[in-house]
Amino acid sequence: MNTVAVLKLTLHHGIVGYLAGFQSGKNILVFTDSFRSDQQRPTLSLLTSPLYPQVDRILEKTYVTHQRLHPLLSNLLPEGALRELIAQSLKVHIDNEFQLLAALGHDLPGALIATPLDPEEIPDEIKFKLQISNPDQILKQEIRTDNKFSLAGVQMKFSMKAKDGRFTLVQATESSLHGDWIVKTPSSRHAFVPLNEYPMMSLAKMVGIDVSEIRLVDMALLQNLPPLNLPQEQYAFAIKRFDRQSTADTTELIHIEDFAQIFGAYPQQKYSTTNYEQIGKIIYQFSYNKILDIQQVASHLLVNILLANGDAHLKNWSMIYQDKRTPRLSPAYDILMTSVYIENELHFALNLAKNKDWYLAEMKHFEQWAEKVGVPWRVIEKQLHAIMDKARSVWQVLLLDLPMFSVHKEKLREHWKKLHPDFQILTDD
């Protein structure tokens, strides 16, 4: 018998759909009729917003996949070492995404919650939609009560609670299940990653990039971590979650989605599916404050060039639904100088006006980008010149005191010298 388990998908306490995972590896996702017919529904994805073309067809469709889940759900799961760690603790294969989502469903990125159902809890019409013909084939999905959360991405990182200067990985048995900080431990592959990301995010914030609160945290202040084989480095990097709003007693979940979800791309396609013009078009068309947000996108792209960040792929851009419905560009995250870890790296993650080489990038590429996006060039040009003026006036001095590996600082200064004159930051030596 091809047994099956079912997850209920809820957003802000309302049911949006159901997900079935069969023993054969087949997964079926359906949305509820009530969610589809509600014109005031909360935004699960830009693709399910009443503003999106052909949204009814999208919500009526039954989505069948094998092992992997639909990209909307697959992109909620971690990649790399963290995924391996969680799969090992659950004793499931790393490609069994239904089992991973079932285990992690109470603390996903954003506000979606996936809850295992008992057989008697599944409505008959949903059984029909999920192609469940025999009630006896339905299993209760057993969930272990270990530390479980999901943070999309490759690096080892944990969703933690901050209190009195310490960060604690919350037990799933505790009443408060949601961490409100992302804490990234030192990398076993690359040296001093926290001492790279913290100064790069700091420099970005100093020129006007929207960034959440960040901290360098002594590893001794991290509590309840699982056994990890980490290098003997002193600091972890912490950033306050912008998809969580905590008070003394509760944590409100704020929904977000990354651009891999918006474009229907799997994590493995995050470098190849689209370009920065398409990201800009989506933001300029759908953002509630399109001028401010498209200026932030342009500023972020320029800062990635200035800081030699070659990893601003689809999953490192997100929309946030602060009021549960209206899309805005989220604060920036995952800005670091990747070129110090990849020999001879010259490229950013996606095409910008058909160019990926940051040493060939100049103002004209941004003008071409603005034209493709459909935003007036004067709106973008003014913003870019303001970024360059700030960076040239303060970055060299600020870099002296930022906690960064000295070799990495010198590589950043060399990078600034090699950029096109439009973007050069010349040092005094």
> How high is the pLDDT of residue 171?
65
Domain boundary among 103, 134, 165: 134
61 and 166 assigned to the same domain: no
What digits encode the pLDDT tens for the residues 397-409? 999 999 999 999 9
With 0-12 CB in 10 A as exposed, 13-18 as middle and 19+ as buried, what is 396?
A: middle
Closest CA to 172 of 162, 185, 159, 181: 159
How much is the CA Rg of the chain, to the nearest whole Å? 22
Residue 423 lies in a domain: no
Residue 148 lies in a domain: no
b/e code 325-343 from CB counts within 10 Å (16+ = b): bbbbbbbbbbbbbbbbbee
Residue 381 lies in a domain: yes
> Active site includes 311?
yes
Residue 426 lies in a domain: no
CB of 36 within 8 A of CB of 170? no
Closest CA to 168 of 186, 149, 152: 149
Mean pLDDT, residues 108-114 taken together: 96
> How high is the pLDDT of residue 174?
46
CB of 405 within 8 A of CB of 192? yes
Out of 107, 243, 258, 311, pick the active-site residue: 311
Residue 145 lies in a domain: no
CB of 130 within 8 A of CB of 140? no
> How high is the pLDDT of residue 80?
85
165 and 306 assigned to the same domain: yes
190 and 120 assigned to the same domain: no
109 and 254 assigned to the same domain: no
CB of 60 within 8 A of CB of 132? no
Distance CA 144, CA 96 (A): 16
Cα distances from 208 to residues 201, 241, 345, in angstroms, run 11, 19, 26
What digits encode the pLDDT tens for the residues 8-33? 999 999 999 999 999 999 999 999 99
Q: Domain tally for the chain?
A: 2
The chain-wide mean pLDDT, for the chain, equals: 91
What digits encode the pLDDT tens for the residues 34-46? 999 999 999 999 9
- Virtual torsion, Cα 252, 221, 154, 17, nearest 10 deg: -20
Range of the domain at 304: 157-418
Distance CA 284, CA 278 (A): 10
Residue 147 lies in a domain: no
pTM confidence score: 0.93
Residue 142 lies in a domain: no
Pairing of strands 181-184, 235-240: antiparallel
Residue 425 lies in a domain: no
Mutual angle of helices 97-104 and 80-90, in 10-degree steps: 80
DSSP code string of 22-69: ETTSEEEEEE-HHHHH-TT---S-GGGSTTSTTHHHHHH--EEEESSP
With 0-12 CB in 10 A as exposed, 13-18 as middle and 19+ as buried, what is 289?
A: middle
Tokens found for residue 142: 């057993």
CB of 188 within 8 A of CB of 384? no
Mean pLDDT, residues 105-131 taken together: 91
Tokens 């003394």 — which residue?
248
198 and 239 assigned to the same domain: yes
> How high is the pLDDT of residue 151?
46
130 and 190 assigned to the same domain: no
Mean pLDDT, residues 367-379 taken together: 98
DSSP code string of 348-398: EEEEETTEEETTT--HHHHHHHHHHHT--HHHHHHHHHHHHHHHHHHHHHH
What digits encode the pLDDT tens for the residues 315-331? 999 999 999 999 999 99
Domain boundary among 134, 165, 180: 134
> How high is the pLDDT of residue 135?
74
212 and 117 assigned to the same domain: no
116 and 165 assigned to the same domain: no
53 and 112 assigned to the same domain: yes
Closest CA to 251 of 176, 192, 154: 176
258 SS3 class: strand
In terms of DSSP H, where are the helices of 115-192?
124-129
What digits encode the pLDDT tens for the residues 129-142? 888 877 777 877 66
How many Cα neighbours within 13 Å face the side chain of 422? 16
21 and 161 assigned to the same domain: no
Domain boundary among 82, 100, 134: 134
297 and 375 assigned to the same domain: yes
161 and 106 assigned to the same domain: no
CB of 398 within 8 A of CB of 388? no
